[in-house]
Structure 1
Amino acid sequence: MNTPVYRDAAQPVEHRVEDLLARMTVSEKAGLLFQTMITMNADGTLVDDPAQAPTATARRMITDLGMNHFNLLGGGGPRQMALWHNHLQELAAQTRLGIPVTLSSDPRHSFTDNPGTAIMSGAFSQWPETLGLAALNDSELVRRYADTVRREYLAVGIRLALHPQIDLATEPRWSRIVGTFGEDAELTSRLVGAYIEGLRGPGDGLGADSVSAMVKHFPGGGPQKDGEDPHFDYGREQVYPAGHFDYHLRPFRAALAAGATQMMPYYGMPVGTPYDEVGFGFNKGIITGLLREELGFDGIVCTDWGLVSDAEVLGQTMPARAWGVEHLSPLERAAMILDAGGDQFGGEHAPELVVELVESGRIPESRVDTSVRRLLAEKFRLGLFDERRYVDPDAAEEIVGSAELRTLGDAAQRRSLTLLKNGEPASGKASEPARPQGSTPQSAGALLPLSGRPRVYVAGVQPEAAARYADVVTDPAAADLAILRLDTPFEPRTGGFEAFFHAGRLDFAPERLREILSLLESVPTVVAIHLERPAVIPEIAERAGALLASYGASDAALLDVLFGHARPEGRLPFQLPRSMAEVAQGHPDLPQESSSPLYPFGHGLRYSPTASAADPLPGPAESSPQTDRTDP
């Protein structure tokens, strides 16, 4: 029997695509157009109990619905993830045409715990959030980070990154800022190219050793009205009162220049622009007119999750994010997305909708074929039909979370820490260093780096971690100094999925602020605040002995920096406003709007050389970051 052209690795991708397309039924084509969530059992087996599956079981979606694109929620040990992936591919291989699975993932290398936007690192190496990479403004580090993601994803069979997120953080209250590169279009544009190159790996285009990048959220999801997020109906409006729509496009132009092959439009709908006031995933002017025709993109467009159907999420019913077209039926919404130029429905498992659209004549089969060609071509280029269909569980255990990759992530955590204040600045006001290089003189009466073994009171820091560096006391009155870790304030929302989105005010509630200031006034205090958004902290900044920003860093990373065993190298990737009034009066689409921020974009102090920086670490020394690339 002759080998089908689509199974012959020696054939050009275009020939393989056309051969396979000609063999597919409408139902099989429809299955390719859907990508949704999937989970695994801890032992690496498939979840066969419908009650434990977030949507439907893998067996039903692959065997009955013809689907072969899935977004993995959660995970397990590297060996178990590799085994599970192979079980998934074995199941797909048993279907009529044996089309392999493309497995995708949200970010899973940092500290974020929002299951709708990212996954905690678990077995993977742990790095600062994307904001922390932006704070370092180091393209080579971003490339090295993305290369690490590539190596660890490849080891367990993940071939599509549902990132990078290159929205611009111009509305300080928006809950998705932590996943961005900050508010500056130039900085984000510079780093996104390195990110895509690192995921792509060796070679000029996608290959068997690549992880594809789904860049999001076109055409920029930052300028949300009142900072609310369009996962929810009250945040559906995206506004441009300063007329900066094109400013938010600039990073996407850079991503396309870097060879991005997939794009995800956001949920929001543009208000007060020349475009229709419907969600971007439904918006023909945005997808076909702007992305495809004006910018020349012929890759895959996948909607954000859940535009067509209502769904149960964490025990709550989430309405479809069909903003501006809520009145349409799921069938009509699906038709509108295809007509707009979309290729794939994210977070959905309803191929029967596409089958009905084709069989009823509402959508020509040739339109479906256009999207199927794009999706199949990506699978072929990634080697999924050939040598990359299965992974080695032994290699997964060696690669994922290896000492080399953990060392790289740990070093990046330390470097990304941003010193905002160190005693009183000699000039009496925060200096404004230029990007990308430069050094700010050390402040007069600097508190950091710490030396010796002081008596320390800690809050928000594990006492066991601090005990390696200092004598920990339980009463601030008995301490030489205090170390206080804080998170960016937010307004708690209702339970379930919504609770994971930290939105609303950026200042501390009065009672909590009094507690913090009481500590700061009783003992010299080092404050380290995790900035997932630009916090409003003028009173804290005034009274703190030293103030640092973190974007995802362990206690050990912070303490190494405080005691001079590592240096803070970060610079703010956004302004810190002085007041909530200033935030509320701002333009959501305008960057660096304040003329007198508490700390400006690009601010970051440096340590002067001290003897303490040469002291031996209170634990095993870290190896230097490696730049050599080693493929699994």
Structure 2
Amino acid sequence: MKQLRYSLLILLVTVSSVYAQTKVSKEKFVNDLLAKMTLDEKLGQLNLPTSGDITTGQAGSSDIAKKIQQGQVGGLFNIKSVQKIKEVQKIAVEKSRLKIPLLFGMDVIHGYETTFPIPLGLSCSWNMNLIQRSAEIAAQEASADGINWTFSPMVDISRDPRWGRVAEGSGEDAFLGSKIAQAMVKGYQGTDLSKKNTILSCVKHFALYGAAESGRDYNTVDMSRIRMYNEYLPPYKAAIDAGAGTVMASFNEIDGIPATGNKWLLTDVLRKQWGFKGFVVTDYTGINEMIHHGVGDLQTASAMAMNAGVEMDMVGEGFLTTLKKSLDEGRVTLAQIDQAVGLILNAKYDLGLFDDPYRYCDDNRSKKEIFTSASRAEARKIAAESFVLLKNEQQLLPLKKQGTIALIGPLADAAENMAGTWSVATQQSKSVSVLAGLREVLGKQAQIIYAKGSNLDYDAAYEERATMFGKTLHRDARTSDQLMNEALEVARKADVVVAALGESAEMSGESSSRTNLEIPQAQKDLLKALLATGKPVVLVLFNGRPLVLADEVKSVPAILDVWFPGSEAGLAIADVLFGDVNPSGKLSATFPRNVGQIPIYYNHKNTGRPLGNSEGNFEKFRSNYLDQRNEPEFSFGFGLSYTQFGYKNLTVSTRQLKAGQTLTVSVEVTNTGNFDGQEVVQLYLRDVVGSVTRPMRELKGFQKISLSKGETRKVTFDLSVDDLKFYNSDLNFVAEPGAFEVYVGGSSSATLKEAFELLR
């Protein structure tokens, strides 16, 4: 016992003598530490490997442990649990020469073990308080399990749903995306990173990754700088302005230069124009992949990344193995290396790791703060608010809690798929399937009968690709006819059919690009057969992207888009299906009629030959298709409710706005239906005449309000001259005098219109 106390005393003395960060300023502490470091130790801080072969009880004997002990590692990612992380951190702070603690990162994208809807689904809530709260809960759980850094939020704007990673973002609009970016950063980081329930955020992917050509992942991006600044860069800047501590470089190239080696992007824009003070990390092997882009060998690519403004190298070890040689050859400078190391040490200081390297390794927190009933209740509420009601003929929904309900489809009893893509910490088996959720909510009030109906797809190999990472759908070995016949037998016994169909969790996400955006044919055939029974059918749609739903919109009476709702999926779906929650989600991305319309988005510009009032009819020598209408299936901002909302009396406080003044836009919104509900009141502007062509309309404000049935409320928006600004051809942020139109309503197709003029 004496020996144990003596060992603990020695450990405390060692830690306190090395990590007395609170007694000196951060600048002095970091500079003093830098002065003690060898070049090899500095390069080690720039190295971010994955956790590799580390297992509980064997951390000290792993290959990565040897590198940590030698000071060759600055952080690790994809390692989970307090016990494992404590073992690894102990190697860093007790066995390495300078005892510098490690960062521990993870892709905490939309929750930790308590999982929330995929980010695209979250964005459809249009509720910044709930979105921020989801990030707070994620930070609390992750930090309780040893994690202090998340590679989130992903703020890439995308107008191409063929790109699978649209699931990880917040849709097509820079204004909405910026608000969500800020909410997520604030949720993760709070107001004080040294608090134990906050974690370092990493805004990604910088930049323009969502505009990959043909929607194919990792592909080339090519656009004008005026488009970058007006339509794609704002959410990244919003995250930086909110205090994001780190930035991840993207895989794509920009102006012919890979983002990971693009000095204009990472230094001129990020640091000089936006004032970013944190550090930049590559994406997984981002430096190495520049070799395939054609920039040269690993040494050249590594030097290029360092000169561009990258501080930490994820997995590739280009910095670790080549920068010493590049320094000798004058390709990089010691000052650059010192600056990079200093920024990483600053982050560790801000997290309080030098004061207490084990601050995130509290066994009590890990037992009490992860996947709690309170957090799960919040996840259930947030999920229900993200659902978008796309169609509801003759008020088929909400369903009554009575009679016999047939639940049919390959996603009806698929707990492993409920969390969606990028849910690496989720315990899939604990997620609530639709079948389990309906049974729990209904109890004995109604009978639930179930049949799978079909596999995800006729092609078994395709299904295997679409159900990776343990998200199996347990492919049924029966024939398609056998599955179908069972489903039809079940449907005939029911009063109503709920069809749980769509994508599997890994049909969207990274490396999950698609050229066909329809529901897989096996499920389309099932749905057609169910409709042929004459029973009323509700389609509960699972998807990680906008889908092409032309057939379903024509034939199915009710469609509820639930995205991938998270760990409480089935309960949230039941809440909405049976009217305990009135759906209030609004689309953050446009749904095309077919893939030939892509890219399609609401804030497009006009042509010299617009179709005008002939929409829906072909007109030669106008900007339209021979075989399809111009307008989308569902527009940005669209979403139905079980009630209805009326808009009237749109007014502006002045017809002439001057610099320094505020213009107030007001509108009366009335709940004209039979249910209490929430509505997202949306304000759009059009700059009628500009020095450069301007979009037909742009989102500039929104408010989510609750109205009791029959209630009317006056909603107001205040607009300043700053709200009218854009980047002109010289990339100056300006508001130009002239005419403006303002539209307010429940979607981007709002028709209520007013006008005003900005004076010189």
Bucket of the pairwise TM-score, normalised by the shorter protein? 0.7 to 0.9
8 Å Cα contact 2:602-2:635 kept in structure 1:
no
- Rounded to whole Å, the distance in 1 between the matches of 2:214 and 2:251 is 16
Larger strand proportion of the pair: 2
Aligned-partner residue type, residue 518 of structure 2:
D
- Rounded to whole Å, the distance in 1 between the matches of 2:504 and 2:494 is 27
Q: Following TM superposition, by how much is the alpha carbon of 1:157 offset from its aligned partner in structure 2, in angstroms? A: 1.8
- Rounded to whole Å, the distance in 1 between the matches of 2:516 and 2:505 is 5
Q: Following TM superposition, by how much is the alpha carbon of 1:491 offset from its aligned partner in structure 2, in angstroms? A: 11
Aligned-partner residue type, residue 32 of structure 1:
Q
1:267-298 residue CA offsets vs partner (Å, 9 max, x unmatched) = 0012xxxx3x0210011121122222222223
Q: Following TM superposition, by how much is the alpha carbon of 1:109 offset from its aligned partner in structure 2, in angstroms? A: 4.3
Partner of 2:184: 195
Q: 1:576 aligns with which of 591, 607, 619?
A: 591
Partner of 1:472: 448
* Residues 540 and 322 of structure 1: CA distance in aligned 2, closer, same or farther (over 3 Å): farther
Q: Following TM superposition, by how much is the alpha carbon of 1:349 offset from its aligned partner in structure 2, in angstroms? A: 3.4
Partner of 1:89: 89
Partner of 1:280: 259
8 Å Cα contact 1:488-1:535 kept in structure 2:
no
Partner of 1:562: 577
Partner of 2:245: 261
8 Å Cα contact 2:505-2:544 kept in structure 1:
no
Partner of 1:550: 562
Q: 2:380 aligns with which of 410, 427, 442?
A: 410
8 Å Cα contact 1:243-1:589 kept in structure 2:
no
Partner of 1:16: 29
Aligned ranges for residues 153-164 of structure 1 at < 5 Å?
153-164=142-153
Aligned length: 541
- Rounded to whole Å, the distance in 1 between the matches of 2:97 and 2:590 is 56
Partner of 2:732: none
Partner of 2:207: 219
Percent identity over the alignment is: 24
Indicate yes or no: 2:313 matched with 1:345. yes
Q: 2:404 aligns with which of 454, 461, 466?
A: 454
8 Å Cα contact 2:47-2:72 kept in structure 1:
no
8 Å Cα contact 1:448-1:546 kept in structure 2:
no
Q: Following TM superposition, by how much is the alpha carbon of 1:489 offset from its aligned partner in structure 2, in angstroms? A: 8.3
SS in 2 for 1:244: helix
Aligned ranges for residues 410-429 of structure 1 at < 5 Å?
410-423=380-393
8 Å Cα contact 1:449-1:612 kept in structure 2:
no
- Rounded to whole Å, the distance in 2 between the matches of 1:292 and 1:611 is 50
Q: Following TM superposition, by how much is the alpha carbon of 1:404 offset from its aligned partner in structure 2, in angstroms? A: 1.3
* Residues 549 and 612 of structure 1: CA distance in aligned 2, closer, same or farther (over 3 Å): same
Q: 1:387 aligns with which of 348, 353, 356?
A: 356
SS in 2 for 1:357: helix
TM-score between the two structures when normalised by the length of structure 1: 0.79
8 Å Cα contact 2:71-2:96 kept in structure 1:
no
1:189-234 residue CA offsets vs partner (Å, 9 max, x unmatched) = 112112111111244x66555311110011231111000010xxxx
Indicate yes or no: 2:117 matched with 1:131. no
Comparing 353-362 with 254-263, greater Cα deviation is found at 353-362
Aligned ranges for residues 454-533 of structure 1 at < 5 Å?
454-459=404-409, 460-462=411-413, 463-468=435-440, 469=442, 470-473=446-449, 474=451, 475=489, 476-488=491-503, 501-508=512-519, 510=521, 512-522=523-533, 523-533=535-545
Q: Which consecutive aligned stretches of 4+ in structure 1 deviate over 4 angstroms post-superposition?
A: 1-6, 39-42, 46-50, 205-209, 489-493, 509-512, 585-595, 609-613
- Rounded to whole Å, the distance in 2 between the matches of 1:324 and 1:108 is 28
Query: Tell me, which stretches of 5 or more residues in structure 2 are unaligned?
Result: 1-12, 414-434, 452-488, 608-628, 644-672, 678-760
Indicate yes or no: 2:223 matched with 1:240. yes
- Rounded to whole Å, the distance in 2 between the matches of 1:368 and 1:12 is 21
Q: Following TM superposition, by how much is the alpha carbon of 1:184 offset from its aligned partner in structure 2, in angstroms? A: 1.0
1:56-109 residue CA offsets vs partner (Å, 9 max, x unmatched) = x33123123520311115x4xxxxx11111111111012100000100110254
Q: Following TM superposition, by how much is the alpha carbon of 1:453 offset from its aligned partner in structure 2, in angstroms? A: 3.0
1:216-258 residue CA offsets vs partner (Å, 9 max, x unmatched) = 011231111000010xxxx2x1133796222100111211211
* Residues 458 and 611 of structure 1: CA distance in aligned 2, closer, same or farther (over 3 Å): farther
SS in 2 for 1:304: coil
Q: Following TM superposition, by how much is the alpha carbon of 1:6 offset from its aligned partner in structure 2, in angstroms? A: 6.0
8 Å Cα contact 2:19-2:356 kept in structure 1:
no
8 Å Cα contact 1:223-1:588 kept in structure 2:
no
- Rounded to whole Å, the distance in 2 between the matches of 1:491 and 1:381 is 36
Q: Following TM superposition, by how much is the alpha carbon of 1:47 offset from its aligned partner in structure 2, in angstroms? A: 4.8
8 Å Cα contact 2:280-2:311 kept in structure 1:
yes
Indicate yes or no: 2:56 matched with 1:32. no
* Residues 16 and 530 of structure 1: CA distance in aligned 2, closer, same or farther (over 3 Å): same
TM-score between the two structures when normalised by the length of structure 2: 0.66
- Rounded to whole Å, the distance in 1 between the matches of 2:263 and 2:675 is 62
Task: Say which one has the larger Rg.
Answer: 2
- Rounded to whole Å, the distance in 2 between the matches of 1:361 and 1:24 is 20
Aligned-partner residue type, residue 86 of structure 2:
N
Indicate yes or no: 2:614 matched with 1:603. no
8 Å Cα contact 1:565-1:612 kept in structure 2:
no
8 Å Cα contact 1:524-1:545 kept in structure 2:
yes
Q: Following TM superposition, by how much is the alpha carbon of 1:603 offset from its aligned partner in structure 2, in angstroms? A: 1.2
- Structural RMSD (CA): 3.1
* Residues 591 and 15 of structure 1: CA distance in aligned 2, closer, same or farther (over 3 Å): farther
Partner of 2:706: none
- Rounded to whole Å, the distance in 1 between the matches of 2:372 and 2:504 is 34
- Rounded to whole Å, the distance in 2 between the matches of 1:490 and 1:294 is 39
- Rounded to whole Å, the distance in 2 between the matches of 1:347 and 1:471 is 52
Q: 1:396 aligns with which of 351, 358, 366?
A: 366
* Residues 250 and 108 of structure 1: CA distance in aligned 2, closer, same or farther (over 3 Å): closer
Comparing 574-583 with 445-454, greater Cα deviation is found at 445-454
- Rounded to whole Å, the distance in 2 between the matches of 1:599 and 1:531 is 15
Comparing 460-469 with 300-309, greater Cα deviation is found at 460-469
1:501-552 residue CA offsets vs partner (Å, 9 max, x unmatched) = 2433212455653332222332321111123111001111221121011122
Aligned-partner residue type, residue 374 of structure 1:
L
Aligned ranges for residues 221-370 of structure 1 at < 5 Å?
221-230=209-218, 235=219, 237-240=220-223, 244-246=227-229, 247-270=231-254, 275=255, 277-309=256-288, 320=289, 322=291, 324-325=293-294, 328-350=296-318, 351-370=320-339
- Rounded to whole Å, the distance in 1 between the matches of 2:342 and 2:562 is 44
Q: Taking CA–CA contacts closer than 8 Å with sequence separation of 6 or more, which of the two structures ends up with the larger relative contact order?
A: 1
1:407-457 residue CA offsets vs partner (Å, 9 max, x unmatched) = 11121112211111111xxxxxxxxxxxxxxxxxxxx44342333233324
1:299-324 residue CA offsets vs partner (Å, 9 max, x unmatched) = 21111111234xxxxxxxxxx35453
8 Å Cα contact 2:49-2:77 kept in structure 1:
yes
* Residues 394 and 486 of structure 1: CA distance in aligned 2, closer, same or farther (over 3 Å): same
- Rounded to whole Å, the distance in 2 between the matches of 1:103 and 1:457 is 42
8 Å Cα contact 1:207-1:381 kept in structure 2:
no
- Rounded to whole Å, the distance in 2 between the matches of 1:360 and 1:477 is 78
Aligned-partner residue type, residue 325 of structure 2:
E
Partner of 2:174: 185
SS in 1 for 2:282: coil
SS in 2 for 1:239: coil
Query: Tell me, which stretches of 5 or more residues in structure 1 are unaligned?
Result: 51-56, 76-80, 111-120, 310-319, 424-443, 614-632
- Rounded to whole Å, the distance in 2 between the matches of 1:573 and 1:588 is 10
